[in-house]
Amino acid sequence: MDDPIRLLLILIPALPLAAAVLIGLLGPRVLRQQSHWLAIAAVLASFLCSLLLMRELSFLQRAAGAGGEVALGIGYEEVRRLWTWTDVADAYQQPRTPPGESRESLVGGGSRDFRIDIVLRADSLTCMMLVMVTLIATLVAIYSAGYMHGDPGYWRFFAYFGLFVFSMTMLVSVSNFVLLYVFWEAVGLCSYLLIGFWYQKPAAAAAGKKAFLVNRVGDFGFALGVFLIWTTYGTLNFHDSLRGGELEPARIQQAVAAERAGEVVPAEQEPVAGVFGPLRLADNELRPAGQPRTSAMISLAICLLLLLGACGKSAQFPLHVWLPDAMEGPTPVSALIHAATMVTAGIYMIARCTPLFLVSPDAQLVVSVVGGFTALLAALIALTQYDLKRVLAYSTVSQLGYMFLALGVGSLAGVTAGMFHLFTHAFFKALLFLGAGSVMHAMGNVIDMRRFGGLRRVMPVTYITFAVGCLALAGVFPLAGFWSKDAVLGAVHDKVHELEPHDSDSHGPAPHGPAPHGPAPHDSSPHGSAEGGGTQAVERPESSADDDVTPVFGLSNLLRGQIFHWLYLLGLMTSFLTAFYTFRAFYLTFHGPELIPPEAGRHAHESPASMTVPLGILAVCSALVGLLLDRSYLDGTNSFANWLLWTPSLGFPAAMRTTLPGEFHLSVAGWSTLMALGGIGLSSYLYLGSRHEIHGIRQFFDLAWVSGWSDVESFARMRQWRVARWVRECSAAVGLEWLLRLVVGALLLVVLVLSAPLLLLYYVSPYKLSYHRFYLDELYELVLVRPLRGLARLCYGIDRWLIDGTVNFVGRVPRQIGDVMRSLQMGLVPFYALAMVLGLLILLAVQLLG
Amino acid sequence: MDTATLLLVTILLPLAGAVALWPVAALGTRAVRWTALAVTLATLLLTVLVIWDFYPDHVASTEREWTWLGAGEQIQFGIGLDGISVWLFALSALLMVTAVLVSWEAIDDQVPQFYALLLLLECGCLGVFAARDLIMFYVFFEFTLIPLYFLIGIWGSEDRKYAASKFFLFTLAGSLLTFLGLLSIVWWKAAYVAGGELTFSIAELAAAVQQAAGTPRAMSPGFQAVLFAALFAGFAIKVPLFPLHTWLPLAHVQAPTAGSVFLAGILLKLGSYGFVRFCLPLLPDATYLFAPWILWIAVIGILYGALIALAQHDLKRLIAYSSVSHLGYCLLGVFALNPLGLQGGTLQMVNHGLSTGGLFALVGMLYERYHTRDIQQLSGLARQVPRLAFFMLVFTLSSIGLPGLNGFVGEFLVLLAMFQRAWQEPLPGWGLHLKAISVLAVFGVVLGAWYMLWLVQRVFFGPLKHPSGGHDGAPPRDLAPREILALAPLAVVMVWIGVAPNFFLRPMDGPLREVEAAVARPLQEGLQNREPVAEKRPQTGLENLTRAR
């Protein structure tokens, strides 16, 4: 084909889909235990295609930057149309815009079609996700061939696997909110199928259902958000197009020029400005029409609803509860879907929607707060779990929280930091999960860390690679996690500075990082506008994106600065906890006396090569990917972030005026390293040597002393004391027993009242809260599930007795009448004669008297 | 043969088949079954040919009218398909093949009569959707009741007599009112509109309504409201809308599998189809007036049906209540009164027929194997009957609106339309109501996933448990090729609609746009004047009538 980008964009998802279909058809009879070859080949080919696509795109980007073909600061995208999914003509009538609003012409005068084309896109963000997804998928596929070996559902596993890779690659390459939603749900379906892969296990089946339902709650928000976007912007496309579906940028420019010149163009030629298309972004026309406050409300509502969707998919509070349960699925699935790829879909979506969030600083704040809070909450839970995979699951939740924290900063530095963390996290978390799977494989599917230990000699490769993963997760220099976590914390740190009074007083906050040198030549780049030089792409007063919008919450910059400051401290705290629980799990598994459960059989051993090779590759990636991609320590620009800025959603003028990525924050790095080392140190102290302190620490946090103190039995024992007996006897002798009882009773009451809070504290001691995951599952059961089930039963009762009863009653009325009438029909001829005579008489009487 | 003749042959073929079963019965039940299958397959084939000719928008070519009743040329008999009815017509032909196949072994008793009734039912349903005039519509509309009454009453489960008579009386009571309402429109046309001749043609009546709109000859809002109520009675019971739904779970539970499949798949659609076909174009002012109320009823039905489904332990009753919930979406789409909603609602009718029809067929197959419909007695069946579990999962996912399958397209369009109606062009005075309705409707989607996934999890996953273990202790066999043949076409169409819905939406566009244009006038007036329409025309319906006389 003469269009390599089109070919690649089709091949990347099509290959895994083809593999899935083939395995699904041939698996049960023909392929059986050989099913993995097809899957591995397809996913590997898909990965190579992704690399080619990235290369192709980079050439084009460079050419565009040099030649200045695209509107500057708009980014670069390639879109390809496959077929039309739906087309309802004239579905949307543009609301009457208030006079003076000039945007009407571009955003579509009059009616609009609900036209959804299957359009695939290639831009930096998509390419980055594609490469990450297909690379991890390839490694996990190879690993699964070893891990799933001999499973009766072998072919089924690889069929689902292919289906997932197809859905995920489509998710990141579609260019439309409807299709994003479609594949958003499709990856959810694959997740559901794979969590419940061993469906005979009730826990697995229940976990699958729970994942689907919690995600449905999130999707509820996502769907509402999409509907609001439709009613607000009149399109759901990301890209610009013509009404007839034409995507060629030159033709669109032509049409826009014609429209601006006031020419009458045929309906087919009318330009339709996509939500994240250059036409809208150039002037940052993403504020809904109407009064500033209404428009701010709508922006906020859209963002928060999208956030709810992202919270479901990316397991953020309060919808994070499904992810730990999802660990019931096979471990490779946990690594691929529930650590590296699918759960990052929410991050991807919010990053894609950056322009929407930029017009709503309140929404940004919520994103950050949700992220920061989740990061801390999950880290606290992870401290006390004994299930190795669950520790990692909570760690994933926590790290995803980091990404949200970064995204909510609302600057390009934040968004790119979030995406960078997403990228590096995929490697080391996949590594950790696969390592845990390797342990599980050797231990005969035992995953409770109390039941094995000291495995470092038994499984040396797993041990070393797991250690690399732990160091990377903890954020130790120079592994991957260090760089990305620094970027995240640095972005939050910058935000605090930006919001400080002395900065916002000055005329527009200057970007803190030096402008990047990446995508476009320096002089003609819109980045240059930040430095006051170069050609300006748009004529608009220099101001931060925040100044254009009316905040709904009405928080002052000072307060917001303080919130971000707290979030920054929270992030540091979390990095301490992360290091602690990571190494706790590490030591419990690999150090200490060797302990192997009976399920493992006689000879527990290192996993086969098909499992250790992917571990090795992932370990190398986890170690180096940050060092190689960050490079801010060399020339002051994060090359990963710079490349990402080519994404249209990130490269538009208003965003370019926010803090740009770049600077390496030495002080932030210092603090976070200190925290990480502190965590590792504490963990080593507690878990590496003799472990007798552990019990004490646990008891301390479990408030065991409270239980000892307020024990009811101790009161009973006090009755047996000699003094007590003596007092009792004395009072009995003088006949004042009643007084004694009164006094003792009063005393007991006082003690009880005083100790009640303590007792309560005991039942919700920090340890127990953490161990029982803050009782959130129980809370949901109590507050949501039970009442709804009760309501359901109530409705059924109403339906049967009230509604059906009424119907039957109404139905019985004619029959009753009939019964009365029937009793008259007794078949006696004389009676009928009598009735006739009577009737005649009455008629006569009426005639005569009337 | 031109398309119209082909269409006529398609409708009459099942009738002929039913008659032909009489002599065939002498050859034994096997021959009867094969004959019935052959007839339904031939009907399906003819349907495909008709659509082939028809697609995408050659409405005229399928129309034909015959003079009827000889009394002059007023009363005519017309058949034809348009985009609104074509897919429902096709669905009837498709589902009947499924119905015949699922009854293959389940029905041992009075086999020829059973199949004859099924074929009569098919004839009735095809006729309803092809009808172009009121009389024919009504005749077929009522005609569908009779075979189904016998199907439930003779081949149903233990409580069949009660269920059959309740179903019959309930729907008959409503449809009599509907008939009166429809006749009144005919009478109005004859009495008031220039030209004055009696016509039963739906198209002519709609044109007359359009033409008279705004003139003193137009039906007054009060008169329209009365007629709307009459039409509503029949259609709402048929849909069924809350709180007129109680016959439905009973009928479903008691009906034989084929009856359930057809009842859920086609007969329920007659109600929502009736709304699109008659209420909107013929009574636009009343539609505009009542739309918010019906939307409320629909959304209450969505949540109420879903909640009750959540409390069920009987597979059939659960799916029956889910129908109550799902049909709410059809009505939501139709009464959003904009192109997106009408298309979504009409498509959703087809979608529901596919998924729920398929689900009932599956439940029938489960019952044949395990002799129970009690969810609590079943568990982990996926291990014994993996293919059945596969189809169950696909149909469930379609039913809960998973993207990539059909249910999503309809639901999405409907909800999008509701949002557009609520946020962009709210009916005056109803803005907040409409917003609440749309948000609640989206919430219904969450509930829908809950009970259906609960069902799948309980019955198919987990440790294996079932009451009997088959007839003689041997594990029940998985789906036979015959059963796969019954289900696979449904699954294929589900994927087809999910992946390329535009193929199905395109022919709807034209006719639905006309429907929308009919209601657009009161809508525009309402939006612009922000005053009740009634104030502009003070005379009530009765005054109007008497004055004209």
Q: Determine which helix (DSSP H) or strand (DSSP E) holds A56, and give its type and residue range.
A: helix A35-67
pLDDT at A13: 92
Burial of B416 (0-12, 13-18, 19+ CB in 10 A): buried
Q: Does B312 touch chain A (CB under 8 A)?
A: yes
- Whether A178 sits inside 8 A of B446 (CB atoms) is no
Q: Which region holds residue A534: left if phi is over 0, alpha if psi is between -120 and 50, else beta?
A: left
Q: Which is nearest to B75 in space by CA: B190, B184, B211, B234?
A: B190
pLDDT at A608: 85
Q: Report the b/e string of A708-735 with b at 16+ CB within 10 A.
A: eebeeeeeeeeeeeeeeeeeeeebeeee
Q: Does B490 touch chain A (CB under 8 A)?
A: no
- Categorize the per-residue pLDDT at B547 as very low, low, confident or very high, splitting at 50, 70 and 90: very low
| pLDDT < 70 regions, chain A | 1, 66-74, 93-111, 283-285, 289-291, 501-551, 603, 635-636, 662-663, 689-696, 704-716, 850
Q: Which is nearest to B126 in space by CA: B167, B95, B150, B161?
A: B95
- Whether A186 sits inside 8 A of B310 (CB atoms) is no
Q: Does A796 touch chain B (CB under 8 A)?
A: yes
Q: Out of B338, B416, B454, whose CB is closest to A227? A: B416
pLDDT at A537: 38
Q: Count of CB atoms within 10 A of residue A30's CB? A: 12
* pLDDT score of B485 more than 80: yes
Q: Report the b/e string of B312-334 with b at 16+ CB within 10 A.
A: bebbbbbbbbbbbbbbbbbbbbb
- Whether A799 sits inside 8 A of B246 (CB atoms) is yes
pLDDT digits (tens, 9 = 90+) for A76-97: 888 888 888 888 777 776 554 4
Taking contacts as CB-CB distances below 8 angstroms, the residues of chain B near A92 are: 420, 424
pLDDT digits (tens, 9 = 90+) for B15-60: 999 988 888 888 888 888 899 999 999 999 999 988 887 776 555 4
Structural contact between residues B81 and B130, judged by C-beta atoms closer than 8 angstroms: yes
pLDDT at A366: 92
Taking contacts as CB-CB distances below 8 angstroms, the residues of chain B near A208 are: 457, 461
pLDDT digits (tens, 9 = 90+) for A813-826: 877 888 887 777 77
Q: Does B308 touch chain A (CB under 8 A)?
A: yes
pLDDT at B200: 80
- What separation in angstroms does the CA of A654 have from each of A288, A407, A410, B48, B453? 16, 16, 11, 55, 45
Q: Out of A182, A196, A231, whose CB is closest to B423? A: A231
Q: Tell me how close the Cα of A688 comes to any Cα of chain B, in angstroms.
A: 40
- Whether B339 sits inside 8 A of A85 (CB atoms) is no
pLDDT digits (tens, 9 = 90+) for A549-594: 566 777 777 888 888 989 999 999 999 999 999 998 998 888 888 8
Q: Which residues contact A530 (CB under 8 A, 6 or more apart)?
A: A510, A511, A515, A656, A657, A660
Give dist(CA B540, CA B31) in Å, integer: 62
pLDDT at A713: 64
Q: Out of A91, A227, A811, whose CB is closest to B339? A: A91
pLDDT at A486: 86
- Whether B304 sits inside 8 A of A87 (CB atoms) is no
Q: Tell me how close the Cα of B51 comes to any Cα of chain A, in angstroms.
A: 20
Q: Which is nearest to A388 in space by CA: A453, A295, A305, A341?
A: A453
Q: Tell me how close the Cα of A192 comes to any Cα of chain B, in angstroms.
A: 10
Q: Does B420 touch chain A (CB under 8 A)?
A: yes
DSSP 8-state class, residue B213: T
Nearest CA in chain A to B405: A182
Interface test with B, best of A799, A809, A810, A815 (most B CBs within 10 A): A799
The residue that leads in pLDDT, B482 or A517, is: B482
Q: Out of A91, A196, A216, whose CB is closest to B446? A: A216
Nearest CA in chain B to A808: B166
Window A:213-232, CB contacts with B under 8 Å: 213, 216-217, 219-220, 223-224, 227-228, 230-231
Concatenate the DSSP letters of all residues of A80-143 into one string.
EEEEEEEEEEEEEEPPPPPTT--TTTTTTSSEEEEEEEEEEEE-HHHHHHHHHHHHHHHHHHHH
Mean per-residue pLDDT, B222-232? 90
Taking contacts as CB-CB distances below 8 angstroms, the residues of chain B near A219 are: 445
Q: What is the pTM of this model?
A: 0.85
Q: Tell me how close the Cα of A256 comes to any Cα of chain B, in angstroms.
A: 26
- Whether B170 sits inside 8 A of A807 (CB atoms) is yes
- What separation in angstroms does the CA of B548 have from each of A228, B189, B541? 48, 13, 11
Q: Count of CB atoms within 10 A of residue A252's CB? A: 23
pLDDT at A285: 65
Q: Is A46 helix (H, G, I), strand (E, B) or coil?
A: helix
pLDDT at A167: 93
Mean per-residue pLDDT, B458-465? 84
Window B:237-256, CB contacts with A under 8 Å: 243-244, 246-247
Straight-line distance from the first to the last Cα atom of chain A, in angstroms, rounded to the nearest whole number:
100
- Categorize the per-residue pLDDT at B544 as very low, low, confident or very high, splitting at 50, 70 and 90: very low
Q: Which is nearest to B104 in space by CA: B51, B150, B35, B169?
A: B35
